[in-house]
Structure formats: C-alpha cells, structure tokens
Amino acid sequence: MKGGTNAAYAPQIDYCTRVFGPTVKRYFGLNFDLQVKQRGFFPKGGGVVELHTVPTRSIPPVCALNRGKVVSISCFVCVCGLPEVLAGRMAKAAHQALQGAGLAEEQGIRFVSEQETSKFPHGVGCVVTATTESGCILAGSSLCGKDQKVEEVCGRVSAGPVSGVYGSCVWQIGHQDRPYLVAHADSDAFCTGDDQRPGEVRRPGGQQHFPFHFCHILPRDW
C-alpha cells in the first residue's frame, strides 16, 4: 500500500501497529503483520507499507468489563530528516507530562522510550500508550508541525492515555472501527465495563447506535 503513513487528523501507522493491532488480536483473535518500508508524512505522502493478514472463519463477541491499573507506559517517537536530538526531547517532555498528570514510577508504572530516526522523509511523529494489567491499551498520537514546539505536541499526545485512565474507558480503539468488527462477530454481544462503576454493563448507544444498526443489517458476506 502506498500513501501517507503519518498524517494529521488520522491515526498514524504506529497507532495501527501499537494499539489497533494488539487490541483486535486480543479481543477478536485477528492477526496481521504490518511492515513500514518507507514513511510518508503529511502533506507529501509517499509512504510504502506491506500488510500480511491471516484469514479467519469467525470473530468472537467482545466483553471487556475491567480495565485495571496502568502497569506500563511507552513513548514512541520517529524523527525523519531532522536533528535526532528531537526524539530525546519529545520522550522527556511526554514523561514529564504524564508525571504531572499523576502517572509516575512511584505508582509502580514502568516507563519505556523508543526512538526511530532516518534521513528522509521530513517529519516527526509521536505515539504514547498506557497498558493496563488487563491488557487494555490507552493511547494518544500526533505529528509535530513545522511551527510547533515538541513540548506542546507531547503534552497533547499524553492527554490521550491520561483521559482514558481518569475517564471510564476500557475500549479505546476508534468508534469508527468497532461496528465493522462487531457486525461480523459470532453473536450480537458487545459490552464494555466501567472501572468507576463496577458491575455495570454498557452497550452501544447515542451516536454509536446508527453505525452498529447499519452494519448489522448488511449481508454477512458483503
């Protein structure tokens, strides 16, 4: 596949490999291998990605009731065509933002920093993930624009997992992805829990009701 791997207002390719991939594998048993041959940053694009999938005959229903405590946080930064020192600055800024939000080593949280650098194309991307003891992955991602400070970008990225931790999130992959997966599950069951209201089962409603209904009336082999 060719196009933009790191674009504004869309999940970066690293979000797919670090959040979406592990999540659908854990809950739906779906496996795929995504290899980035060349990155393509917005607006120029030009990225190249190889995707290998494993067919499946069925998808199990989802039941995610307990999020659990955060046990590890990972900050991934890719710096292409720019000074490599930016990677260290972004990782440090993300760490400080998370500590300021109350997610610190003193709580038993393990911090991991990963960096990727290359001479081309030009661009900077960051993905911060927080993994809980139940395997739930809360995340945030963003590009660093030409006139943006890396510290501001990392603060915005870190707000993703922080909002999930202090909110009621158990399942954080985009709501636009859920209907298509659930529509092909073996049953209609799709429920998520809330750590702030244990024992309560929540089902799709509000803005999510229509896409779920639409997908359920589609032919299974469509």
Confidence band, pLDDT 50/70/90 cuts, at residue 76? very high
pTM, entire model: 0.76
User: So what's the pLDDT on residue 218?
Assistant: 54
Retrieve residue 142's tokens.
């963003």
Question: Which pLDDT does position 198 carry in this prediction?
Answer: 44
Write down the pLDDT at residue 180.
53
Give the range among 16-20, 128-132, 185-189 with minimum mean pLDDT: 185-189
Q: Looking at this protein, which amino acid is placed at residue 166?
A: Y
Q: Buried b / exposed e across 141-150, counting CB within 10 Å, b at 16+?
A: bbbbeeeeeb
Q: Would you tell me the crossing angle of helices 85-100 and 150-166 to the nearest 10 degrees?
A: 40
Question: Tokens at residue 151, please?
Answer: 């510290």
23's CB contacts (< 8 A; 6+ apart) are 137, 171, 173
